Amino acid sequence: MKRAISVVLQTILLLAVFGVGSFLPVFNILPMWKMGAGATHDFVLDGLLLMIALYLVILAIAAARKRLRSSGALSTLAFVLALLLGFAMKFGMVTVGSAAS
């Protein structure tokens, strides 16, 4: 039961970081890294990169505690779930005329 709660909480944390990072370029806090995702949309990479950085920090903590084998698989599951949910919610997708350059 503790492992399931851990996966759910990590998924929520990673998803929140993905969402917040996707909206940071709107406030001109960080430079916007983007790539074309079609004729009318761009994908802002900021949220995805922040989520990957947080995932690597979580894995580093698990490795330091020597629990990489058990916690690492669960963290990877949480990362994949957050990634799929974030893409389903279209985090990072902006219309070509509306993004702050």
pLDDT digits (tens, 9 = 90+) for 34-56: 666 666 767 777 888 899 999 99
As a residue count, the chain comes to 101
* Longest pairwise C-alpha distance within the chain: 48
| More confident site: 46 or 25 | 46
Q: What is the pLDDT of residue 80?
A: 96
Ordered by start, the domain boundaries in the chain are: 1-88
Q: What is the mean pLDDT of the chain?
A: 83
Q: Which distant-in-sequence residues (6+ apart) come within 8 Å of 36 by Cβ?
A: 42, 43
The structure's pTM equals 0.80
- Rounded mean pLDDT, 66-83: 92
Q: What is the pLDDT of residue 68?
A: 85
